[in-house]
Structure 1
């Protein structure tokens, strides 16, 4: 004998996150019209429900408990039912009672993106950047896994001196909230617009800071994939702060992936060729940024007769010195296996002869002191904070 009542209903929820597959014709069209892309990962998420007419049987309770320990993404199940839009973002985005967002004083909107807005807020005398995202838009774009990875990576890696920290994040019924440290100096992009070409000493310092951040991420099993001046903020002393991990992905060092994403001007040739690629694509992007800082121009490229594979890179004529040219040629090598793609190798090249990387880690040198001919106010008072949201290629 056993229970004769109706069995609990089971809701089969299809995969929330899908794998975004870019097809040939659409890829060519979108590469010409969009500068950035979003990568997605697949994940299955299920919602548990039960009959409200009677308690679960003892067998059902035992099976539910075991499933949360053995099946992936089942740990978000609770004995009390939650809505689909809440369960999708658990456990990375916890559910908090009350309106926590009301504790932050809104100091104004500073950016708008595809999924929501970024605000400058204040709490107990401290200023933060609050990103408010729409759950419905994220689910519609199949970006649940992407947003969860973004906040997890920033939370784990945010203690690095050149990466923006993410101290708080939570969800309400309709929105996600991500609180990051507010960086008052603006973007590296604005600095390049003001000066066009930066002094070699400052370029050497900025490349070193970015290389330290990339090396830390790569050793932590993260590939960044969207390094560009718009994603590099400057603090009040001019030190870099890496933001926006929307295209980042957990990838063990030495492993490869195939997702086509990034910002077109900074995408490595192996990504454009639809080949498998690894962490070396971040060092290519660093080379493009270094070229911009040294010459004020992007490098040009030459392709094979079919126009499908990049053969070589041509640097602008006005490269300051031999050491700078050697740095760019090493970072912008079209063959990933021959490209400079480690901090240890970077420290040995002529460009960094007699350079102390330990002083860079400790921020003993202030970048604003290396900008001659301009008052410090002009360097640190940029046009606000801009944390861009990327679109799909």
Structure 2
């Protein structure tokens, strides 16, 4: 009896140990390393053990379309918790500024016309079908950006415009995304065109209108500088006009985060508007933007430019050997240190054109302070501009609130200067005035 009882207990223990060993083996095989590695398809660990997504978990990520993936997340909220790993290098280098989504260009936007061309792509006027609203769509080539080592520049441009685009005198960015080959940036569409087009069409502008334009530009610059941004490419091509001809700053491709009082030394910008300290490779700060503003003010008041900070060598006036305008290394930099080495015909940078002699003393004083070669003496903030004689009695608060439409001022001065003509001719002229477009 005792032996049979012992045998029964031994058999029961053996059966239990066998069963537990079998369960342990089954459990281990389910989560074995080989099984886990074999199912690395861009999904999370949880998806491997999910009974509802066995096929999607084992399917290679290379065979899953991105559009199908996004649609699946809409139908099944649990799909959104799965991770798409690994992300291709050509996409990850532009994250997180440019999210990875489907090609919204084909789905949501209808291209109407090309309005500008840049170094990395083009800008289109588009209409968003769902809203029936016009936008500006910038399409950039990833290959060109990578080849020119401009990844950081493009990402910084996106961050700056996102942080500062809410200002009333800065064009706002609506959205941005990337596909495998391109970057897309959707911005507000500015219908009035470039300030350069207005200057080319009408030459000198009335002083009352110049006050409004300069005040709005200065308010935008002051906001950027206080936000820790240096613009570095202020020129009429980058100043757009809205339907009432309020200014809108665009294109932050050369902008950089730079706190007040800090310095940088990168050689960049447009030669005609570059401050002397930029070309002389000296550390410079936000004062370079105010020099560029001085060049623009001179152009608006006189229809001419002051003496630039860079001129060509006398030995290079031959047409065959003329240096390219976009290569500052082939040009002669003129600063206070080498003025005495030049011929008497060379004028110091910032010298006003002869046509500026007919300007009022207040206008000339403003230009001289903005075009001061020494950045420590140069007018370089909004408070100094407000205290200048040019803006004596001027209400900057009305400008900040956009209470004074520049377009109405321009039309009023234009009517005063018109010769006697028929009403039909006046209508035709104003129709062409309203059709200033981006060149």
Question: TM (normalized to structure 2)?
Answer: 0.68
State the Cα RMSD in Å.
Answer: 2.2
**Aligned residue number for residue 331 of structure 1:** 370
- The 1:359/1:178 distance shift into structure 2, 3 A limit, reads same
After TM superposition, the structure 1 stretch with the greater mean CA deviation from structure 2, 119-128 or 276-285, is: 119-128
- The structure with higher relative contact order (CA 8 Å, sep 6+) is 1
Distance 2:259 2:347 in 1: 27
- C-alpha distance in structure 2 between counterparts of 1:111 and 1:305, whole Å: 42
Q: Which deviates further from its counterpart, 308-317 or 254-263?
A: 308-317
Deviation, structure 1 residue 275: 0.3
The question of 1:306 aligning with 2:359 is answered no
Q: Which residue of 1 aligns with 2:401?
A: 362
1:252 paired residue among 259, 264, 280: 259
Deviates further, 351-360 or 90-99: 90-99
Q: Structure 1 residues 310, 259: CA separation in 2 closer, same or farther (over 3 Å shift)?
A: farther
Distance (whole Å) between structure 1 residues aligned to residue 40 and residue 200 of structure 2: 65
2:196 maps to which of 176, 189, 201: 189
Match of 1:373 among 390, 414, 418: 414
Mapping of 1:195-344 within 5 angstroms? Answer: 195-300=202-307, 304-307=339-342, 311=348, 313-319=350-356, 320-344=359-383
* Equivalent pair of 2:265/2:283 in contact (CA under 8 Å): yes
The structure number with the bigger radius of gyration is 2
Q: Unmatched 5+ residue regions in structure 2?
A: 1-32, 42-82, 309-333, 416-428
Residues 1:103 and 2:108 aligned together: yes
* Cα deviation 1:214-248 (Å, max 9, x = unaligned): 00000000000000001101111111110000000
Quick one: which of 163, 170, 173 aligns to 1:163?
170
CA distance in 1, matches of 2:414, 2:116: 31
CA shift, 1:322, in A, is: 0.4
Is the contact between residue 307 and residue 348 of structure 2 (CA under 8 Å) also seen in structure 1? no
Paired position in structure 2 for 1:80: 85
Q: Distance in 1 between matches of 2:349 and 2:179?
A: 50
C-alpha distance after superposition, 1:237-279 (max 9, x if no partner): 1111100000000111110000000000000000111100000
1:360, distance to aligned residue in structure 2 (A)? 0.4
After superposition, give the CA deviation of every residue in 1:5-64 in whole Å (9 maximum; x if it has no partner).
xx9xxxxxxxxxxxxxxxxxxxxxxxxxxxxxxxxxxxxxxxxxxx954769xxxxxxxx
The residue that corresponds to 1:139 in the other structure is 146
Partner Cα distance (1:281, 1:307) in 2: 24
Give the CA deviation at 1:300.
2.0
Instruction: State the shift of 1:310 in Å.
Output: 8.5
Moved over 6 A (4+): none
Residue 72 of structure 1: aligned partner: none
- TM-score by length of structure 1 reads 0.76
Task: State the 1:306 CA deviation.
Answer: 3.0
Match of 2:281, SS?
A: coil
Q: Which has the higher helix share?
A: 2
The whole-number CA distance in structure 2 between the counterparts of 1:150 and 1:269 is 25
Partner of 2:132: 125
Q: How far 1:102 moved relative to its partner?
A: 2.4
| Residues 305 and 353, structure 2, Cα contact 8 Å, conserved in 1 | yes
CA distance in 2, matches of 1:313, 1:54: 68
What is aligned with 2:99?
Answer: 94
Which runs of 5 or more residues in structure 1 are unaligned?
1-6, 8-50, 57-77, 387-393
Contact kept? 1:269, 1:310, Cα under 8 Å: no
Query: How many residues are paired up?
Result: 315
Cα 1:329/1:87, change in 2 over 3 Å: same
